[in-house]
Structures are given as C-alpha cells and as structure tokens.
Amino acid sequence: DYLSPWGLLVRTSDDPSWPAGTKYGAPNAQAKLTPGQPFTLRRDGADVLFDHMKTWRFYSEFSSDYMPDLNYGAVGSFRESAPYRAIVASAGRWIDRGVDGLRLDAAKHIYSDEQGAENPAFWAGFYDDVNARYRETHADDIYMVGEVLSDAQHAAPLYRGLPALFEFSFWWTLRDRLNSGRGSDFCATVGSFRTLYEGYRSGAVAATKLSNHDETRAATDLGGDAGRMRLAAAVLLTASGEPYVYQGEELGYTGRQSGGDEYVRAPMMWDAAGASLADGALSGKVDRDLLTAARSVERQAADDASLLSLYRTFARLRNTYPALARGTMTPHGVYNADNAEYASIAAWYREAEGERMLVLHNFAPTTRQLRLTDAVERAVGVQGSVRRGVGADAALLEMGPCSSVVFLLER
C-alpha cells in the first residue's frame, strides 16, 4: 500500500487511517526482504526494506521518532547547512512581526556531547547571525535565553554562546535552604554561580526562577507550606538576576513532575467562575482541586494577603528601586555562614546608581532576633511578621517565621 525509498508497509484494511491492528511490517528495522525468500510480517512492525535498500535515519537526542533533530552537519560548517539557514530566516520573520527575544528550549542538545565545545559554538553563531538581522531595524541587541537543565557548573559553558540562561541552581539552592531553615550562606553560594558565569561571558544574565515545566512545582517541593512559598517569592524578587515566574507559581499551584509535563501544567484560573477540563489526555493528569475560585487570579487579586498580591507587591518594589532591579548583590558582613547566631538569616546588599538597600530573610520556621548594624532610612518592603524596636532598642529587629524585610539605607 505504501512504497517509498524507505520501504513499504502492508495493511489488512482499506481504511486510510491505518487503524490499530491492521498495519504489518518487518520484525525490526534491520530485517530486510530478499525477493524469492519467505518473509514473516509482524503486526505494527517496522518498515519492510528490500536487501538493496539503505535507510537514512535522523539522529535524535531525545530517542524519539517524533522529535527528529535538524541536520546542521559538523560544527565547523553548520552555517552552510540548509536547516541552519532556514531557522535564521525564520527568526528574521518573527523579528519582522515585532518579536525582540527568543526562549531556546533544551539548548544543550544541539550536538550530543552536552559538555563539548559544539553547543556553545553553535549558539554563538546563531546569536550573532540573528542579532545582526535584528540590528538592521533596532538600535539594541536581541534578547535570547537558553534552557539548560543542568547545575551551574555544567550550564556555565553555554554562556559562550548565549547572553542569558535559566538558573536552575538558584532554585535548587533556595529549595534546599528553605527546607532546612538555614540561609546564611545563600547569597555567597549564588554569588559563586555568578562569578562562574562571568568567566565565560562578561555581563552574563542569570535568568532566575523557581520551578519550571520540567520540575516538580515549587509549592510541592516546599511541602505546601504557605510561609515558605511566600518567602521563596520574596527571595526571587529581591535577589540579583532577571526573574521569571512559571505560570501558576504565583497562584500557589502544586504538582509533581512524574509521568509527563501535564502534571505541572494546570491551566491558569483567571476568574472565579472556575474552569473545566474536557475528558481526554489531560483528564487524569491535572489536579482539579487547583481549578477552584479561591485560587483564581480574580479572587487573589482582590485579597491583599494572597500569594499573588505578594508577587505583585515585590515586583512593584523591584521596579521602583534601581538597586533591586539591576544592582550588585553582595553578602552582609555580619549575618553570614561563619556566624552561627544568624544561621537562618539570608542577608545581602543591593546597590546601584548610588542607592543602597539591605535585604533580610528569615529562613527559619521560628522567630529570630538580630541587631541591625547598618544605618537604615526606612523599610520599603515587608512580608510576614517583622518588628523593629524603638528608642534605645531601635537597632533590635524581630523577624517572624519565613519573613522578609527590605531596608533603604541612609546615603
């Protein structure tokens, strides 16, 4: 019924949709038919090849026949390949439609050696070529962020090719520290990642995040604890880097990445009317308890104490103060890993354009007291219970469980 240079298949039904149980082929992809010799067909088998035929197969990093990779050829000549020229042209068409940035999925999987030099070289060429096309009509550079599902050490070499990478190590470090209740080395640890990136690219952008579609939801990884979920949001939006929020994170969505991305891709609940899912592929893979009015954007936006309102408050705070948006992030000199008294306190300075801020987070599930060692002008952002003394005790700060405070320092 089907004949091509790749071989043939046989079906026992005249139904052109090839229903299950009617397609027959070779026992495996290596078996070949020699005319005049018996050949046993197998239900749902491989294409039948004659013994003189050769099979061309796509290399597939994901071991999938439905996600074949493009054949760019050797890294030294990939720019000459037709697929490469086609994707650069495609990017150009998106630029013409107003797109000024690209998210690059699975960026470590162009060539098979994740730690080899080929992938960074490929992305360097792609970025330069697409950016040249972008700059024909723009004064700035195009933005590209790569998804490299690896720790900082293994992801860092990709900065040779791309200006920004999602920082998985940021979330993995934060998740560990929040669940253990210790924060004093968080800033220094994250800072070591950034130093590593700078070794590969000056001005490397850490695209910070909590979880994404390849991971168990942050709320689930944090045990569903509301305090830790709120603290995670505050840390994300007061740390350096360019933060991303995976859809549903700001509503407190839960989900375990087991058996497919669908388990962490519940649709956003925009209004309190609720949502419904038709029976089908997603029907057993989405937690329907998430699709309730109480979790909706509409309901949470009207509640100043909701998780969504916290995200919005700290996003506004970040956009108000240049130091929080793009300032340097340096560990506090007193509240640090060497000071056991403040083991639960994550503390850092943010500084830009003459503006200095002090960020304090209590990672512990219990109340902590500390003495301020900086001259603070005022608190500009608070989440959780934070109280400051008055008069002679003005330097005393009491931080409730999983709480945060951002101080603007005196100039």
**Do 251 and 160 belong to one domain?**
yes
Which pLDDT score, from 0 to 100, does residue 43 have? 84
Q: What is the pLDDT of residues 37-81, one digit of tens each?
A: 999 998 878 888 888 877 666 677 776 666 778 889 999 999 999
pTM comes to 0.87
Instruction: Say which CATH number the domain at 117 has.
Output: 3.20.20.80
From the list 101, 331, 336, 321, the residue with the least C-alpha distance to 194 is 331
Residue 194 neighbours by CB distance under 10 Å: 18
Contact 324, 350 (CB under 8 A): yes
Contact 379, 344 (CB under 8 A): no
**Do 197 and 296 belong to one domain?**
yes
Looking at the structure of the chain, the number of domains it has is 3
- Residues annotated as catalytic are 105, 147
Let me know if residue 254 belongs to a domain: yes
Let me know if residue 62 belongs to a domain: no
**Do 2 and 119 belong to one domain?**
no
**Do 176 and 250 belong to one domain?**
yes
Contact 11, 23 (CB under 8 A): yes
Contact 119, 108 (CB under 8 A): yes
From the list 164, 153, 66, the residue with the least C-alpha distance to 107 is 164
Give the C-alpha separation, 311 to 296, whole Å.
14
**Do 308 and 329 belong to one domain?**
no
As a whole number, mean pLDDT of residues 366-381 equals 96
Which pLDDT score, from 0 to 100, does residue 283 have? 59
From the list 407, 343, 399, the residue with the least C-alpha distance to 377 is 407
- Res. 6 pLDDT band, cuts 50 70 90: low
Strand 205-207 and strand 164-166: the pairing is parallel
Instruction: Please name the amino acid found at residue 103.
Output: R
Let me know if residue 64 belongs to a domain: no
- Res. 4 pLDDT band, cuts 50 70 90: low
Which pLDDT score, from 0 to 100, does residue 19 have? 82
Q: What is the pLDDT of residues 325-349, one digit of tens each?
A: 999 999 999 998 888 999 999 999 9
**Do 156 and 219 belong to one domain?**
yes
- Res. 282 pLDDT band, cuts 50 70 90: low
Is the predicted pLDDT of residue 3 greater than 60, yes or no? no
Is the predicted pLDDT of residue 180 greater than 60, yes or no? yes
Range of the domain at 8: 1-57
What's 228's DSSP letter? H
Which pLDDT score, from 0 to 100, does residue 1 have? 40
Which pLDDT score, from 0 to 100, does residue 62 have? 72
Least confident of 120-124, 319-323, 336-340: 336-340
Which pLDDT score, from 0 to 100, does residue 376 have? 95
**Do 136 and 211 belong to one domain?**
yes
Which residue is associated with the tokens 């071989």?
Answer: 7
What's 271's DSSP letter? S
> For the chain, what percentages of helix, strand and coil (3-state, to nearest 5) are there?
35, 20, 50
Contact 409, 357 (CB under 8 A): yes
Q: What is the pLDDT of residues 231-281, one digit of tens each?
A: 999 999 999 999 999 999 999 999 998 867 888 988 888 988 765 665 555
Which pLDDT score, from 0 to 100, does residue 267 have? 83
The b/e string for 376-401 (b: 16+ C-beta within 10 A; e otherwise) is: beeeebbbbebebeeeeeeeebebbb
As a whole number, mean pLDDT of residues 159-166 equals 98
